[in-house]
C-alpha cells in the first residue's frame, strides 16, 4: 500500500480482490475458515488462472496466451 502516484501502486491487487469477492466469496456461505480457504484456492487455481479471460492478455485466458507465445 502506498500513497497516490507512488510506483508501488496497488490498483492491480485491488482489482483482483474485488473480482475475487464478486465472483467467489459473496456467492458462498462457508462453514469454516478452512473451507473458505480451500474454495478461494480452487477458484484462483482452476478458474481465474486457467479459464477466465483477462483484458490485459488481449481477452484470452492465461493458458491460451502462454501457448500462443510458445
The pTM is what?
0.69
Residues 13-66: tens digit of each pLDDT: 888 899 999 988 888 899 999 999 999 999 999 988 888 888 888 899 888 898
Closest CA to 10 of 18, 35, 68, 23: 18
Q: Return the exposure string of 24-46: e unless at least 16 CB atoms fall within 10 Å of the residue's CB, then b.
A: beeeeeeeeeeeeeeebeebeee
**Apex CA 68: angle with CA 62 and CA 70, to 5°?**
105
Amino acid at each position: 500500500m502506498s500513497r497516490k502516484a507512488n510506483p508501488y501502486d496497488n490498483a492491480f491487487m485491488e482489482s483482483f480482490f474485488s473480482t475475487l469477492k464478486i465472483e467467489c466469496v459473496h456467492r458462498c456461505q462457508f462453514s469454516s475458515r478452512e473451507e473458505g480457504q480451500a474454495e478461494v484456492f480452487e477458484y484462483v487455481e482452476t478458474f481465474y488462472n486457467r479459464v477466465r479471460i483477462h483484458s490485459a492478455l488481449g481477452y484470452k485466458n492465461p493458458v491460451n496466451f502462454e501457448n500462443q507465445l510458445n
